[in-house]
Structure 1
Amino acid sequence: MTSAAQPPFSQPSSQPSSSQPSSSPYPFSLYPELDATALTAFVTALECGDVTGLAPARAAEVAEVRSVAVFTRGKVTGAHGDLLDAALWRHTGTGPRPVIVMPSPWTSLGWLPYAVQATLFALRGYNVLAYSARGFGGSEGEVEVAGALDITDGSRALDHIIERSTGPVTKIGFLGDSYGSGISQLVAAHDTRVHAVVALSTWGDLGEAFYENSTRHVAAVRALLAAAAKARLSPQTQTVFDNVLANRDVPGTLRWAETRSPFTHIKELNRRQVPVFFSHAWHETLFPPNQTLKMFNELTGPKRLAVSIGDHSGPEMTGMLGLPNRIWTDAHRWFDHHLKDIDNGIGDEGQVVGEVMWSKTLEPRPTWPSLTEHVERVYLADDGELVEEADDAQAGWTATVLCGVDTPATVADKVVESGYAEMAGRPKVYPTDDIDRTVAAVWAAAPVAETTRLRGTPRLRVTYRAANPGSSFVAYLLDVAPEGTAHLVTHAPYTDLDSPPDSLVSADIELQATAYDVPRGNRLMLVIDARDPFYGDANLPRATLAFTSPEATPSYLDLPLG
């Protein structure tokens, strides 16, 4: 991969195309901790060399990178000739070196959140190109949500940096956070020049992220729309998001999502054994971890998964601010190993590293299945208890839940933002005594005699009778202290749209994966209610769900223990 050196950027030939921005019910950012003013000052210093006002560490990075590379801002020509706002860190030497391309997150700031990390990659010897995805920031075009045009944009961005590298390009990496992570995986699946990927806070199956267990993720879609308030959504993108919120054309949305899901293209990644590093959060509210786990487990090439306390993009946020961050440290090590052939040990550290709630202990494991050493089954009993013996649970009991009423059991207080409180050691507290047992079914286990290490994916099987066509519920697994306050371990929604009225519905679902230590003296509590503002509600107002446990198919909860 060699070429003659060319000007750092092509010159813009036109202004960004105009279209109506997506409407937003409230101001919102997927990056609430990001200091755009400080990052803009950092970029300005990269251009002119004046580090006045920068923190000493940032000033030192600017001085060092300017001594070995040239930083420029400009435009990259993407699909259909649309100009994409971009930044290039280009070394002046003629020796061979690897390159990294960084498609932007889902934010009006475009590529700016990558400014510090791209500089750090440049200091490690990489040529780096960061660009704003089409429809965002200063880029032309419309937001296609990782569609065919976005994939072409990624390849055109790669062409751009190769053409402007002053020496031979050895290997190529794509790195993205959030939106850019999905684009990075898809470009790697379609462009055989890509050697390795880093995908932070990503998705594997977009359809499952939008419709988990057939349940609409309405809060997530509203958050995406709000965060894209200044973007230019394509008509198709706007229609799909509107359809999710209005509960229209589910098959059409799933077809749209399928082509935009890296999982759909996993055979190509596996054929070329592309190394992929994932980072995710246990309590992710935009892209729930199980759909990314599905992708991770099917990859056959080199792979690594870091799962942490927090929510979307939270675990990697301090790195974007320029602070020490283990996720970004591993991203650097991943590319150093796979793009520069440095034997730094990351390939021998196991495929998975999980941060345990709430001790923050890091646990490396060789594979995802190795997290779970054995599974303990507890049964839902008629007296509101979780019991270990099926005979103790009896059969035929009924626990009736009134629909249409919210309870204190909810996924989180806010999309994304609640995860920052978790990372700061202030997870949401659930007052279990305030959960009305007429609108929620509750089962509690006995206090644990010693710390119980939940590691892996819990599974719930429960039967219920719905009087009306269409029904849904949300199951929450809580860790309850002796005084009755609780923290959320994990949860999952469920929706049934096919069963006739007044029939028994058998729900067999996985709760979201977890690594959680239940302290001695605490107890696990399962709460099932019929309404949560994070999800679409398929129930009719004032309808009821009657949960039960038939003798032939008892209701139970499988707990993965480490």
Structure 2
Amino acid sequence: MGHPHKALRTSMTGAVSAALLAGAAVGLAPAAPAAAAGTPAAPGIRFVDIHGDGGTVLKANVVTPAGAGGSRTYPVVVLPTSWATPQVEYLAQARKLAGAGFVVVTYNVRGFWQSGGNIEVAGPPDIADARKVVDWALANTPADPSRVGMAGMSYAAGISLLAAAHDDRIRAVAALSGWADLTDSIYSGRTQHRQAAGLLLGTGYLTGRPGPELRQFAKDFLGANLEKEDEMLAWGEKRSPSAHVDRINRNGTAVMLANAWGDTVFPPNQYAEFYERLTVPKRLEFRPGDHATAEAPGLLGLPNDVWDGARRWLDHHLKGTDNGVDREPPVRIMSRSGGAYETYPDWKSVGADARKIALGGTETIRANVDSGANGGIAMLSGTLDQFAKLPPTASIPLLPRWFAAVWRSERHGSPQRIRGTAKLHTTVTSTKESGTLVAYLYDVGPLGLGKLVSHAPYTFHGRTPGKPFPVDLELFSTAYDVPAGHRLALVVDTVDPLYIEHNPSGARLTFSSPATDPSYVSVPLREQ
């Protein structure tokens, strides 16, 4: 089983990346200390203190359209900061929004940097803070109370969705690289996402003040305390917009969701499932990249289609601009292999064509050893895939069969497109009552080099040793193009640095395919 302190050390590369990004954003913005609270730092920009829930001071800035004054009102967009970033994070985008006729209020969420309070991880105090910021904006800026929106990246996306469920004044949300189901994001397949959790905790401790509830959760989560699993699940559900989707639907909030295929913090599946449950005006966008890497250049004021799409969404739903966003197909995706955007009427249509690859025979593997197949490194692998088309790779013929089970398809004579969610069904027999397996889908070239298409972990507890049981596992959704002459390979092993594994020493896993319940991997595959 992985050690929690090792998890934090593993995550420091991602922490440094986040810090550099925040620093770059600060470098382009006016320095906050140069302006006293409540006084203009530049034309149209004010740095202010807003009193949140319980009087907690939230450091904020306000950007208003040029010439704002008199009795005219404007739509308002509230931007909470991302996890571990300072209040100037969104100034470049705030200026663009103000230039388009919005009042913009961005604020540092509680527990981080100079704002007061403790980190509550989108808990009730954070939602109450968001409502207080809306109150303040309506009372202190030329904001129109009938045209309120929220937006932001990562932590801000989650808070925005939760706030929309609890405040019917919020008419539109653009949630970028966020989560809908916090538990499914960092605990999918009942497996702790070690590097993702370590990244969040590491940067949280570096830039903020974790509250007692977060400290206890981190201890139980990284320590794999199964006695506290119900409490951890309840903690995550309270912070999951998916648990409040009925309230969002009832409020009628227009919701835009955007994420990256390779997001190692908030994988795409949970966003897609949430999108399908929304009955309000909605939009779903997936692109290549890792956590927040697709929209990060926009923080520096660089051209960015994610932020451009968010502004179009807010323009239409808050200003009434007839820009056609309501008439476009609502699901928009880009393949990791490149090419133009593809559009679909709904998420189900993305992976409508599925082919089953039989997983015949019986394979037995030893646990506790990394076979060499793995999902990569949080915040790095998805970025390399985005900019250099370099996903994690493995030599499939050289994988040690003592520690990895391997099945391969026939070669494909023509190019194939994978769009959507691959699903594994198999029968497992373990020599121990607990265990972890990780399934990987590879695109394998003529020389046997496999490029990772998708993967997902799965952990079980309380199984009777020697007794077979079925396993159904959804791999992380993706869009990938398989060249002609290649084949697909499914690999299963028991150790991946991304996750905490629960394999007792000496455990063995056997994968079988009973005649009455054949094993297979279903891949959303079609010819190009």
Which residue number in structure 2 is paired with residue 353 of structure 1? 332
Distance, in Å, in 2 between the alignment partners of 1:334 and 1:500 is 52
Which residue number in structure 2 is paired with residue 559 of structure 1? 523
Aligned: 1:313 with 2:287: no
Which secondary structure state, in structure 2, belongs to the residue aligned with residue 112 of structure 1? coil
Alignment of 1:507-522 (within 5 A): 507-522=471-486
Alignment of 1:120-519 (within 5 A): 120-166=96-142, 168-228=144-204, 229-248=206-225, 249-382=228-361, 398-412=362-376, 414-427=377-390, 428-519=392-483
Given that 1:33 and 1:317 are in contact with CA atoms closer than 8 Å, whether structure 2 keeps it comes out as: no
Q: Indicate the structure (1 or 2) with the bigger Cα radius of gyration.
A: 1
1:338-390 deviation per Cα after TM superposition (whole angstroms, max 9, x unaligned):
000111011122111111121243111111111123221111123xxxxxxxx
Given that 1:97 and 1:169 are in contact with CA atoms closer than 8 Å, whether structure 2 keeps it comes out as: no
Aligned: 1:42 with 2:28: yes
Which residue number in structure 2 is paired with residue 96 of structure 1? 73
Which secondary structure state, in structure 2, belongs to the residue aligned with residue 176 of structure 1? strand
Which residue number in structure 2 is paired with residue 8 of structure 1? none
Which secondary structure state, in structure 2, belongs to the residue aligned with residue 76 of structure 1? strand
After TM superposition, give the deviation of residue 38 of structure 1 in Å. Answer: 4.6
After TM superposition, give the deviation of residue 559 of structure 1 in Å. Answer: 1.3
After TM superposition, give the deviation of residue 150 of structure 1 in Å. Answer: 0.1
Given that 2:103 and 2:143 are in contact with CA atoms closer than 8 Å, whether structure 1 keeps it comes out as: no
Which secondary structure state, in structure 2, belongs to the residue aligned with residue 558 of structure 1? strand
Which secondary structure state, in structure 2, belongs to the residue aligned with residue 374 of structure 1? coil
Alignment of 1:10-29 (within 5 A): 25=9, 26=12, 28-29=14-15
Distance, in Å, in 1 between the alignment partners of 2:57 and 2:451 is 47
Which secondary structure state, in structure 1, belongs to the residue aligned with residue 208 of structure 2? coil
1:85-106 deviation per Cα after TM superposition (whole angstroms, max 9, x unaligned):
1111134323121000001101
Distance, in Å, in 1 between the alignment partners of 2:405 and 2:147 is 55
Which secondary structure state, in structure 1, belongs to the residue aligned with residue 364 of structure 2? strand
1:539 corresponds to which letter in structure 2?
N
Equivalent residues, number: 506
Distance, in Å, in 2 between the alignment partners of 1:350 and 1:495 is 37
Which secondary structure state, in structure 2, belongs to the residue aligned with residue 370 of structure 1? coil
1:380 corresponds to which letter in structure 2?
L
1:85 corresponds to which letter in structure 2?
K
1:140-174 deviation per Cα after TM superposition (whole angstroms, max 9, x unaligned):
00001000000010011111111111364440110
1:295 corresponds to which letter in structure 2?
F
Distance, in Å, in 1 between the alignment partners of 2:23 and 2:498 is 32
Given that 1:135 and 1:233 are in contact with CA atoms closer than 8 Å, whether structure 2 keeps it comes out as: yes
Distance, in Å, in 2 between the alignment partners of 1:497 and 1:215 is 11
Given that 1:101 and 1:175 are in contact with CA atoms closer than 8 Å, whether structure 2 keeps it comes out as: yes
Given that 1:283 and 1:419 are in contact with CA atoms closer than 8 Å, whether structure 2 keeps it comes out as: yes
Aligned: 1:72 with 2:46: yes
Q: 1:33 to 1:359 in 2, by over 3 A?
A: farther
Which residue number in structure 2 is paired with residue 548 of structure 1? 512
Given that 2:103 and 2:142 are in contact with CA atoms closer than 8 Å, whether structure 1 keeps it comes out as: no
TM-score, normalization: structure 2? Answer: 0.92
1:450 corresponds to which letter in structure 2?
S
Give percent identity, aligned residues only. 36
Alignment of 1:79-90 (within 5 A): 79-90=53-64
1:195-237 deviation per Cα after TM superposition (whole angstroms, max 9, x unaligned):
0001111111111122212111122111111121221000111
Given that 2:60 and 2:108 are in contact with CA atoms closer than 8 Å, whether structure 1 keeps it comes out as: yes
Q: 1:460 to 1:143 in 2, by over 3 A?
A: same
1:73-117 deviation per Cα after TM superposition (whole angstroms, max 9, x unaligned):
12110111110111111343231210000011011x323221111
2:341 corresponds to which letter in structure 1?
L
Given that 1:452 and 1:519 are in contact with CA atoms closer than 8 Å, whether structure 2 keeps it comes out as: yes
Given that 1:205 and 1:258 are in contact with CA atoms closer than 8 Å, whether structure 2 keeps it comes out as: yes
Q: 1:525 to 1:250 in 2, by over 3 A?
A: same
1:98 corresponds to which letter in structure 2?
P
After TM superposition, give the deviation of residue 30 of structure 1 in Å. Answer: 7.7
Distance, in Å, in 1 between the alignment partners of 2:479 and 2:13 is 33
Given that 1:110 and 1:136 are in contact with CA atoms closer than 8 Å, whether structure 2 keeps it comes out as: yes
Distance, in Å, in 2 between the alignment partners of 1:35 and 1:537 is 31
- Structure 1 gaps, min length 5: 1-22, 50-64, 383-397
TM-score, normalization: structure 1? Answer: 0.87
Cα RMSD of the aligned pairs, angstroms, is 2.0
Q: 1:258 to 1:42 in 2, by over 3 A?
A: same
1:454-476 deviation per Cα after TM superposition (whole angstroms, max 9, x unaligned):
11111110111101111210000
